[in-house]
Structure 1
Amino acid sequence: MNLADIQGSLPDSKLRAENQWLFSPRPLQLSKGENKRLEKLGSTLAAFQKASESIYQRSAKGRLPSWISELLDAGKPSWLVEAQRSAELRDVLPRVIRPDLILTEDGFSLTELDSVPGGMGILQWLNQTYVQHGFDVLGGKDGMLEGFRSLMPDGGRILISEESVDYQPEMQWLSDQLGDRWPLAAAENDAADEGAAYRFFEWFDWQNIPAAKELAKKIDLTSPCKPHLEEKLWLALLWSPGMRGMWSSEMRGSNLQRMRELVPHGWVVDPAPLPPQAALPKLHVQSWQEVSQFSQKDRRLVLKISGFDELAWGSRGVFIGHDMPGHEWADVVSNAAEQFSTSPWMMQEFHNGRVIDHPYFDPSTGEEKIMTGRARLCPYYFVGEDGKTQLGGCLATIVPADKKKIHGMKDGILVPCAW
C-alpha cells in the first residue's frame, strides 16, 4: 500500500474540515495481551458509568452527601439538572463509550471518557481501507457501522451542531455509509420530533439549539441527557478518600480494581481550606496555592477543565505542568481554583507514554519514513440494550515523542489498531 492508494480512496470531503493527518502503510499492531484487555475494557467502563450514575442520583436525593451532585451540577442551568434527574431517564445511560488511553510501558493510562466522540467516520474509513489491503483490524471492516446501527436499529437523525462543524465531513460520510434511514441534520433546525436521534452536540451549546430542552427529555436520544457523566471530575472522584466505600458498594471488586489500575490518581481542584493537620492526598501540601508553586520536577501533573464549557473540547483546556513555565502554571492553577463554583477543574498525575516507532508517508514525496513517537488509543464501545458492550474499532493517534499532548494534528499519524 502506498500514499497514492490511500489518498485515492479518500472521499471528496477528505473527512476533515481543516487539518489533514499523516498516513501510514500499516495499522498499529498491538500485542495479544493489549488486544485482550481492550476487548474486556468496555464492560468495565460501562460498569463505571452505571456506578457514577447511581452515586449521582443517590446524592441528588439526599441518600449520599449532597456535595457530590452539587459539584457535578456546578454552572449548569436548572432545567438541565432537572432533566438528568427525571424519572423518565432513570435507567438511561450512554450507548457509546470512548476512552482516551495512553499507551504506556506497562499497559494503558486512561485520561478521559467521552460519550459524544468524534472520529467515528474517520475510523470506519480507515478500517475499511486497511482491510481492503489485507490487514486484520480490531472491529473488522464494518465494526463501526454495525455498532452505530445498533444504537438506532430502525434509523434516526444524526444531529450535528454548528459548534461541531469541524466534524461534519466525517459524520456526513458516515451517514452516507449507514444509509437513508440515518440522515445527518442540523441540530439548530431540529424540532425534537418523534423517533430516535443521535446527539453530536454538547449541552453547553444549548442556547444555540432551540429544541435542546425537548430533546433532553427523550429516552431515545443517544447520548442521553446525563451531563454529569460527561464531566472529567468522575476520574478524580474515583480517588476521593471520602467516596471509597461508595465505589466499593457500587462496583464489583474486579471492575473497581481495573479502573484504579487504569486511571491516574486525580484530584478535584477545590479551594476550600483544609484542617491544619490535613493534606491533599499524594501531593503532601495543604492548598492549591502551594501546588501552583511546585518546581518543574514536582509538577508532573495535568490540569483539565472538567466539562460543560467550550474549552472542554479537544486539548484547549488541558495544561501539562512540567511542559510550561512556572509563572504560567501558577496562573492556570489559580484560575482553576477561582472557577470552582461555576466551571470546576480536575488534576491528574502525568503518565509517560511508551516510545514506539511507526512508519508514515512523507506527504510531499510519498516516501516511507519512521516516526519515533507516543500513541493514544481510542477504542469505541457500543452498549447494547442488554447492557453488553461491543468493540467497534480502535483509532490510534501517534505524535512525535517530544509532544506532551497527544491529539489529532497535521504532523500526527492516524491509523486503526490491528490484531
Structure 2
Amino acid sequence: MEILSYQNTLAFANQLDADDPLAKYRSEFHYPQVNGKDVIYFTGNSLGLQPRRTQKFVDDVMKDWRELAVEGHFYAEKPWWDYHERLAKGLGRVVGASPEEISVMNTLTVNLHLLMVSFYRPSQKRYKILCEEKAFPSDQYMLQSQVRFHGLDPNEAIVEVKKRDGEHFWRTEDILNTIETVGDELALILIGGVNYYNGQVFDMKEITKAGKSVGAFVGWDLAHAAGNIELKLHDWDVDFAAWCSYKYMNSGPGNASGIFIHARHLGKTDIPRFEGWWGTKKETRFLMQPQFDPIETADAWQLSNPPVLSVAPYLASLELFDEVGMDALLEKQKKIVSYLEFVLQEIDKEVDSTFEVITPKERGCQLSVFLHGEGRTLFDYLMKNGVITDWREPNVIRLGPAPFYCSYSDMYHFGQILKEGILSK
C-alpha cells in the first residue's frame, strides 16, 4: 500500500491489523503494563519482549538439571553438550549463512574481540581499521584497545568515515572512496550494519566488495541488524560478523551472542585464534589431548561449554522466526514503519512543532526523530502514558516498531498520545 493511501484513523489502522497475517503473533509475547493497559512498545531495538514460550524452554533445562544433574549433558531431551548447535540452522536463515558458518557463545563485544584475533593482523604497512564516525561506544572502545594491544596509535590506525556537514546519514560513496584512498594500508573494515543512533542500514554488499578489492578483511557488528533486515552474509563474501540476541531476536537481557565466520576460513589449524576446550572436535574432546584439534565449523572459535540457561530462550525465539520466516517479517516491517512515518507527518501538521526523521530510506524497523522545539518532558509524558520509547540527547526519540508484536493500531494510538503530550504543555 502506498503512503498516499494511508489514513490516520483508528478504523484504518484496525483494518490494517485485520489484514495482517502476523497479527496473531502479538499474543505470543508478554507486555509490560502502564495504567492497566499493555504498553506501546518501541524499544525492541534495545530489548525485545519476552516470548511466552520462553518459559517452557527454560523450565525444561531446569527440570533436566534437577532430575539428571551432570547426566543432562548427554541424556537430557536436548543434551546440553550440543544444545547450541540447534540454533545454527535457524540463525543461518536469519543472517544468510550455512549452519557450519554459525556459532553461539559469549556476548557481543567479547566475540568481536575474539574475532579480531583472527581477522585483525596488522603489519608494518597494512594496519588501519575503517569504521563509521561515532560508532556505538563499545565498538569504539574495542577497536581502540585492539589497536593499542598491537602497539599502535588509535589516532593513526583508526579511520572514521564521517557524515557530510548538515547531514544525518552516511553516504555509501564516501565510504567507498575512503576505502580506495586508504588502499593497501587497510587491514580491516568493521562497521555496525545498522547504525544504533539514526537507524541507517549500510550497503553491506558493496562495502564488503570494496574492502575485499583492496585486500582487507571485512566484518560487521550486526547488533541492530540480526532479525531486523535482510542479510546474505555468505553471498556477500563477509569474512566475519557478530550480533547480540536480545534486541530483535528476543532472547532476553544480555543474552548469548551469535557469530558468523565465512566457510573459507573454517577447518584451518593455522589461523590465529584464541582457543579453548569446546572448540575441539567432539570426537576427540574427551580424550583430553594436549593438542588443539579444531571443529571444522565456526564452533572452533568457542572457548567453553555453552551457557545452556542463556541459550534456551534464544532457541525459543528462533522457533518463532522459523514459523514466520524473514520474508514475512520484512514485508510487515516495511509497511508498519511506513505507516508510522505517515502518522508522524500527519500529527506534525496538527501541532506547533517540527518532527524531522533523520533515518534515511535505507532502514529497518527504526525511525529516529528529532522533536524540534520539544524536550525531555515530552519523552516523560509518553512513558507515563504507556509509550515505551528511547530518548537520546538532545531531543531525539528512537521508535522501533518490531513486526512480531507491534500493531498498526499501536502506531495510531502513539500519534494521538504524542499530540496530547505536545498540546498539554
Shorter-chain TM-score tier: under 0.3
Larger radius of gyration: 2
Larger helix fraction of residues: 2
Instruction: Choose between structure 1 and 2: higher strand proportion.
Output: 1
